[in-house]
Amino acid sequence: MRIVIGAPANGAALRDTLKAYLGADHRVGEVVDVSRADSTYPAVSFSAGKAIAEGRADRGILVCGTGIGTAIAASKVPGVRAATAHELTTVRGSVENYDAQVLCMGQDVIAAAAAVSLVDLWLDLRHDPASSYATRLVEITDFEASTTQS
């Protein structure tokens, strides 16, 4: 799996912890950090989202103070779904139900050890296209396509 990771300054410490974890995990073939020292949360989120939308990455992890700003910004990239998740139910649901490619976390919200445990789970999660959520995702995708064509 190819993972893109990024954070502005207020998420850099957790990003670095997660990046080190991902780099040592056998399920991850490549980790690309799209952060720069002067990255804003929108810029790093757009960069990560584009890497996924263009097929250069399979999934992404974004970290800011709360995980909310990065999720909003990354979800503006057509075809990308980002979710803020800090506990088991929302991490699981973000992938299994909503097929979110980007996991967003807040450095000010979650301890590094807890974030690593959730990322460990997240790496094994897959969306079930036959689930009851599949038709809702089609509805979202169709709406997105109709608004980007105008």
Active site residues: 64
Distances in Å between the alpha carbon of 6 and those of 21, 64, 122, 138, 146?
A: 14, 9, 17, 28, 29
**Rounded CA Rg of the chain:** 14
- The distance in angstroms from the start CA to the end CA of the chain is 34
**In contact, 82 and 75? CB cutoff 8 Å:** yes
Helices then strands, counting H and E runs in the chain, come out as 6, 5
**DSSP E strand stretches across the chain:** 2-6, 30-33, 59-64, 82-84, 102-106
